[in-house]
Amino acid sequence: MADPTFAIDEALQADLHAARVIQLAGKRALRAAFVGFFVDMFDAYLPVVALGPAMVYFQPPTLSPALQSTLFYVVFALSLVGRPVGAAIFGHYSDKIGRRRVTLISMAGFALVTFLIGLLPGYETWGLSSVALLIVLRFVDGVFLGGEYTGANPLAMEYAPKAKRGIWSAFIHTGFPISLASMSLLTTALLRWIPAGSAHSAYAIWGWRIPFFIGALLAAGVFLYAYRHVPESKVWTKAQKVRSPLKELGRGDNPRVLFQVFLVMSGAWFTLNTVTSILPGVLALRHVSSIVVTNAQLIENLIMMFVFVPFGILGQRIGRRTVLSLLGLAGCTIGPILYYVLVKSGYRNTVELVVLVTLINLCATPVWAFVTAYINERFTTGVRACGYGIGYSAATIIPAFSSFYMLGLKALGMPYEYTEVALFALGGLLLMIGALAGPETRHVEIS
């Protein structure tokens, strides 16, 4: 006769083994999401940090400064516009065929496209075709970038323990300031050793290509890691599948939830764009050297690396809705005031410039510490990747054309260098309204 105590011990051992396997799979999924997001942000901001000093390589020499600045923003914006397209396509299939497969396809895609961008010739070789191809490739790159986080981030959140989702989310998004800091360090080193300034300078001809090739190699590395070590989400595997996640997203309560998430993320993207993509160009119009701007971004991103996880913990303890609302309030009051001071006179002293840039970023970027947890908690498993991807990415479209709103405000009589202050305030207001319109989510059972 079998010993029942032995049977119980055997079952307990089996349960403990299964728990350890799930825990290990979760850690691997978290690593993949973190590194994937690092590469995502590295790739997304390559035009701002690395290509910015070399944009003359792609531009006609007769362009006015305002049009040069606008073209610079457009190259960045097109990758943002591609994101919601990728999020809709890949989010649909992430819910339908699995998070892991979508992560692999998207990582391979933007590794290839980033590599192709690094091979592009300039205006003197291909004329306007060179900048046109740059814009097209940035759009396609954005499509694949939109797919990366619709696979990897929901996968990590579905493995995360409920009490640690905010911390996991913050850790994933720490890849954002780390990537910008890494890119700033790399670009600073390149600008120090490789001459820049004109279309015929060494940096303009070949120096800017180095970060793009590094970005492609990093993406290929994440692909290999996910392929070998990251399993499919157990939550997704066990869940009842939806025949058409995109259609399901338009039914029941999902449209209202999606619109509320859209408001939150529109505010987040407006404020982020003003400090990451617009501010360097505005400071350039004030004749601040690209090295000073890059160093300022480097310092503030090094500081932000240590800010995200504490904000994630704060959101876990007092509520994501509360912290989102407070950050929105800071974004429509304190942030614009600091921005105005910086653009008016704060750029003249390097120390003051660095301090102001850092404080402005503290009013804008900490929101990203827990948006992944917050949005994933707002949707059920059958449409989670789809809802997360579209809610996160569709909100990029309107803020992506901030350069045109700046030109419009200029036409209405506002000095061009102050137009982004109004956009910053708008972003903070949208973030606060969107957060207050939604519920608290930290106690949601994501499974």
Is the model's pLDDT at 181 over the cut of 90?
Answer: no
Is the model's pLDDT at 117 over the cut of 80?
Answer: yes
- Judged by average pLDDT, the poorest of 100-114, 341-355, 363-377 is 341-355
Residue 335: per-residue pLDDT? 92
Domains along the chain? 29-233+242-437 (1.20.1250.20)
Pull the structure tokens for residue 69: 């600045």
Unique residue bearing structure tokens 């890119």 = 183
Reported as a single tens digit per residue, the pLDDT across 162-178 is 989 999 999 999 988 88
Is the model's pLDDT at 6 over the cut of 60?
Answer: no
Q: What are the DSSP calls for 47-74, one per residue?
A: HHHTSGGGGGGTS-TT--HHHHHHHHHH
Pull the structure tokens for residue 46: 């390559």
Cβ 315 vs Cβ 369: under 8 Å: yes
Cβ 203 vs Cβ 341: under 8 Å: no
Confidence at 7, pLDDT banded by 50, 70, 90: low
Of residues 313 and 292, the one with the higher pLDDT is 313
Residue 95: per-residue pLDDT? 94
Burial class of residue 173 (count of CB atoms within 10 Å of its CB; 0-12, 13-18, 19+): buried
Question: How many whole angstroms separate alpha carbon 101 and alpha carbon 232?
Answer: 8
Confidence at 1, pLDDT banded by 50, 70, 90: low
Over residues 120-141, the mean pLDDT reads 84
Residue 68: per-residue pLDDT? 67
Burial class of residue 157 (count of CB atoms within 10 Å of its CB; 0-12, 13-18, 19+): buried
Is the model's pLDDT at 194 over the cut of 70?
Answer: yes
Burial class of residue 189 (count of CB atoms within 10 Å of its CB; 0-12, 13-18, 19+): exposed
Unique residue bearing structure tokens 């061009």 = 416
Percent of the chain with pLDDT over 90: 40
Confidence at 10, pLDDT banded by 50, 70, 90: low
User: Between the CA of residue 345 and those of 89, 104, 174, 360, what are the distances in Å?
Assistant: 46, 47, 31, 15
- Judged by average pLDDT, the poorest of 153-167, 187-201, 255-269, 360-374 is 187-201
Confidence at 156, pLDDT banded by 50, 70, 90: very high
Pull the structure tokens for residue 401: 């054309």
Reported as a single tens digit per residue, the pLDDT across 196-222 is 777 778 887 888 888 889 989 999 999
Confidence at 9, pLDDT banded by 50, 70, 90: low
User: Between the CA of residue 312 and those of 52, 175, 373, 376, 442, what are the distances in Å?
Assistant: 32, 14, 9, 15, 11
Confidence at 3, pLDDT banded by 50, 70, 90: low
Q: Identify the CA nearest to 87 among candidates 335, 384, 321, 300.
A: 384
Query: What number of other Cβ atoms are within 10 A of residue 135's Cβ?
Result: 16
Cβ 129 vs Cβ 3: under 8 Å: no
Of residues 278 and 367, the one with the higher pLDDT is 367
Report the predicted TM-score, pTM, of the whole model to 2 decimal places. Answer: 0.84
Cβ 218 vs Cβ 42: under 8 Å: yes
Question: How many whole angstroms separate alpha carbon 93 and alpha carbon 432?
Answer: 32
Is the model's pLDDT at 16 over the cut of 90?
Answer: no
The rounded Cα 393 to chain-centroid distance in angstroms is 9
Is the model's pLDDT at 15 over the cut of 60?
Answer: no
Query: What number of other Cβ atoms are within 10 A of residue 183's Cβ?
Result: 25
Over residues 341-348, the mean pLDDT reads 82
Residue 437: per-residue pLDDT? 96
Q: Identify the CA nearest to 442 among candidates 237, 169, 240.
A: 169
Q: Identify the CA nearest to 162 among candidates 442, 440, 418.
A: 442
Pull the structure tokens for residue 239: 């869940």
Average pLDDT score, the chain: 85
User: Between the CA of residue 316 and those of 51, 154, 420, 443, what are the distances in Å?
Assistant: 38, 18, 32, 9
Contacts of 27 (CB under 8 A, 6+ apart): none
Collapsing DSSP states into helix, strand and coil, what is residue 142?
helix
